[in-house]
Amino acid sequence: MNDERNGSKSIAILGSTGSIGTQTLEVVRNNPQLQVAALAANSSVEKLEAQVREFHPKMVGMWTEKAAEDLRIRISDLDVKVVTGMEGLLEIAVLPESQVLVTAIVGMIGIRPTIAAIEAGKDIALANKETLVTAGHLIMPLARERGVSILPVDSEHSAIFQSLNGEPGNRIEKILLTASGGPFRGRTREQLAGMQVEDALKHPNWSMGRKITVDSSTLVNKGLEVMEAKWLFDVKLDQVQVVVHPQSIIHSAVQFVDGAIIAQLGMPDMKLPIQYALFYPDRRPMDGKRVDLFELQQLTFEKPDQETFEGLKLAYQAARQGGSMPTVFNAANEKAVALFLDKKISYLQIPELIGSAMEQHSVIKNPTVEQILEAEQQTYEYIAGRISYGW
């Protein structure tokens, strides 16, 4: 949805101070055709103030009232509306000036703003995979009905999206979803038991937010991405095959019904999928290191070890059960990762908590947004209960 008169495009970013958010703003910096209509963050007031002064949005959101008050004082010399809480995120999502909503917040908090933006006819540049994992059955049909595009920002899904360019209809036989394997690739369960927060935060190829970095080490991230791929590309779970590819050069591939495989290769740099989503179907120049095949010499592939990295196995299980189960999987993981980062539980207690939260849940088929948020809350309460009983 380009503005045909001057080729410019206006975007709003939820989560502008995070890893994806700041890289999106780098893309904006390098592309004068992009304008920023609105920005939102949780509580990073200083960073948001600097972004406001550089990118001149019309509206900004802070999750907490306290942070919003602080920001209002800091930018009182500017004509910028400061909004708060969920109401604020919803107001930003439907802002008439913006054409694309970049969802770069973490977690299921993104569901309602994403739905509101689609209803208002905005295209979505989607990084916030938790939204599709838990509410894909609501979001994808709504997007089709409203004629808006869901443009993947996640590197693997962008690669799949790029591999599908120009292909007629759905001729996918299989999606080959690549995974770096994370920092603990090749480790045994016994070795994993002793892993500390510092170890889990050392990703070999990508620099990302803390939660997704831990998710990459447990393969929960890949599990979430399997579900994300199922919704985005309308395929069955069995058509999504995870391939461990430690070099992170092939960002994913599609095998078509005639056996041809088309892949997208590149250096591990999120700015490429972000820029691609913002300018689709165009490609714009981008600086940066290029893949040098001679330097690489070889690309390698392995099967994922689902017995050691139970996160992936549990994700397939949750996806097969469907309905509200992916929400429980996701919410249990969010809580467990937060507890692990706070050093309240050990590394292997992450999949253990996810598994036990899933066991105690009775699936609701086709949950509404309210039921999804209720299942999330119940899962949080279940885990809080487990922790208070002597973990």
228 touches ligand NDP (CB under 6 A): no
Task: Please choose, out of 162-170, 176-184, 201-209, 298-306, the segment that lies near ligand NDP by the rule CB under 6 A.
Answer: 201-209
Q: How far apart are CA 182 and CA 202, in angstroms?
A: 8
Buried residues in 110-123 as b, exposed as e (16+ CB within 10 A)? bbbbbbbbbebebb
Q: Which of 97, 140, 206, 256 binds ligand NDP (CB under 6 A)?
A: 206
Residue 20 binds which entry of ligand NDP, Mg ion, none, CB below 5-8 Å type-dependent: ligand NDP
- Which residues between 297 and 356 bind Mg ion (CB under 5 A)? none
Cα–Cα dist 218/193, whole Å: 12
Q: Does 106 bind ligand NDP (CB under 6 A)?
A: yes
- Bridge partners, 38 (sequence order): 12, 59
Name the residue nearer to ligand NDP (CB basis): 152 or 386: 152
Contacts with Mg ion by CB under 5 A: the residue count is: 3
Residue nearer to Mg ion on the CB measure, 95 or 227: 227
Q: Is 241 in the site for ligand NDP (CB under 6 A)?
A: no
Q: How far is CA 17 from CA 44, 90, 347, in A?
A: 7, 18, 28
Query: Taking CB under 6 A as the rule, does residue 19 contact ligand NDP?
Result: yes
Residue 138 interacting partner from Mg ion, ligand NDP, none (CB closer than 5 to 8 Å by kind): none
Q: Which residue is nearest to ligand NDP (CB)?
A: 18
Shortest Å, Cβ 154 to Mg ion? 4
Decide: is 154 part of the binding site for Mg ion (CB under 5 A): yes
Interface with ligand NDP: number of residues (CB under 6 A): 28
Task: Indicate the angle between helix axes 210-218 and 349-359, nearest 10 degrees.
Answer: 80
Peptide bond into 367 cis (omega under 30): no
Q: Does 63 bind ligand NDP (CB under 6 A)?
A: yes
**253 interacts with ligand NDP by CB under 6 A:** no
Q: Which stretch binds ligand NDP (CB under 6 A): 29-37, 207-215, 307-315, 377-385?
A: 207-215
CA atoms within 13 A on the CB side of 228: 26
- Considering only 62-70, 95-103, 153-161, 317-325, which stretch makes contact with Mg ion by CB under 5 A? 153-161
Query: Does 212 participate in binding ligand NDP (rule CB under 6 A)?
Result: yes
Residues that bind ligand NDP (CB under 6 A): 14-21, 40-44, 63, 104-106, 109, 127-130, 154, 206, 208-209, 212, 270
